[in-house]
With several copies, the nearest count.
Chain A
């Protein structure tokens, strides 16, 4: 059972209207080829879960620019002006989530937990409509787990088991998102042999990964 497939076969796992997690931070750590393949495949009405909407023309920003996104669940959209344009036009729904809450909601979804109890957001708009749980006299928001149909992961070195080693801070949301989607696709900058990544240095164990595509990095 090889996990190695073509970029086209990989995006064949995605349908219109699906929810997609995309690792990356301002485009750094986006799976650039998979993004392009989603555009080429004509996919639309996607719910994107990502830290941000990247910057014009770079990475997942293109999905917004090409109007493939119906809803964004994210912590920051300030560097992608298209988001405000489409949001103000009522064409794009944006759910803003504090970055630390976003990462914990995803973690919670991947780890089988019932949600997150966080002090972040108490007394702010973020708390609207959410249960407040008091533990030992301190108030916490109950934030629900997040999962997605598909996760798009970018890895620097990936072996055939799907073990991933990340370079630099292109790591960011990639490891946690690899735990929280029904189908996890990693785009490898470099496909390596089993054992080339020492067992101690594997960041994402291959059991989290369903498919591997090659040709990553711009």
Chain B
């Protein structure tokens, strides 16, 4: 069975479900837009995390619980949002004191490219897409743990490279890469595949990864 035959309908769920297992009870977490926002629904009931929204929330929704007037409460994408009871609205200075100051336990975000040294590129494709970095550069520098959650390839092209070719978001910041194909740790010597999607062979993952990939001697199935 090869990567192309993976059921793509629940690809995002596979990634989000696995990322959820990385979070600990009490963690303070910042989730990037898109796939990472699916993570909370897969948390076990005994794992409660506090979500940060860099726009200025500690204890962001998802469920509307207190003020949810969209003129006054939005998420990082400007969409209507809400805050939990016991949360706090903070200004942007405090928001980035939390982010840059090492107070965020983990951030989960997407990537255009990641490489063997844990370098990350996720904010610009020169000449094509120049949205700006928003808070991403601060997040990946400041969070205690940086988890990339993404599809393993982009239209069949590897996104995990020996060396990023796109402009970097930060140097050596990535700790863990979670894709629909498996889980890859960034180690001082390079990338280590520690878990694999049970529908795939190691050769499938290696073929879809441009960076050299060590295979853990205790490789397990991705849950």
Q: Do chains A and B touch in the complex (CB under 8 A)?
A: yes
Answer whether residue B102 sits at the interface, using C-beta atoms and an 8 A cutoff: yes
Any chain B CB within 8 A of the CB of A69? no
Residues of B close to A125: CB separation below 8 A: 124, 167-168
State whether A112 touches B142 (Cβ < 8 A): yes
Contact indicator B74/A26 (Cβ below 8 Å): yes
Contact of A172 among B50, B92, B100, B170 (CB under 8 A): B92
B interface residue count range (under 10 / 10 to 19 / 20 to 34 / 35 or more): 35 or more
Cα A83 to Cα B57 in complex, Å, equals 27
B171 in contact with A123 (CB, 8 Å): yes
Q: CA separation between A208 and B96, bound complex, in Å?
A: 13
Given A98-B137, A172-B56, A176-B93, also A122-B171 (CB < 8 A): yes
A218 on interface, CB distance cutoff 8 Å = yes
Q: Is A84 an interface residue (CB 8 A)?
A: yes
* Chain A residue nearest in CB terms to B140: A120
CB-CB contacts below 8 Å: B207-221 with A: none
A138 CB to closest chain B CB (Å) equals 11
| Residues A79 and B91 in contact, CB atoms below 8 Å apart | no
Q: Which residue of B lies closest to A170 (CB)?
A: B72
Is there a chain A Cβ closer than 8 Å to B175's Cβ?
no
How many angstroms from the CA of A84 to the CA of B66 in the assembled complex?
36
Residue among B74, B131, B135 making CB contact with A100, cutoff 8 Å: B135
> How far is it, in angstroms, between the C-alpha of A131 and the C-alpha of B96 when the chains are bound?
22
Closest 7 A/B residue pairs (Cβ): A26-B78, A78-B131, A168-B72, A100-B138, A194-B86, A100-B96, A169-B56
**Residues of chain A at the chain B interface (Cβ within 8 Å):** 1, 25-28, 51-52, 54-55, 74-79, 84, 87, 94, 96, 98-101, 103-104, 107, 110-113, 118-126, 156, 159-161, 163, 166-176, 179, 194-195, 199-200, 202-203, 205-208, 217-218
Name B residues whose Cβ lies closer than 8 Å to a Cβ of A: 25-26, 28, 50, 52-59, 66-67, 69-74, 76-78, 81, 83, 85-103, 124, 129-138, 141-142, 167-171
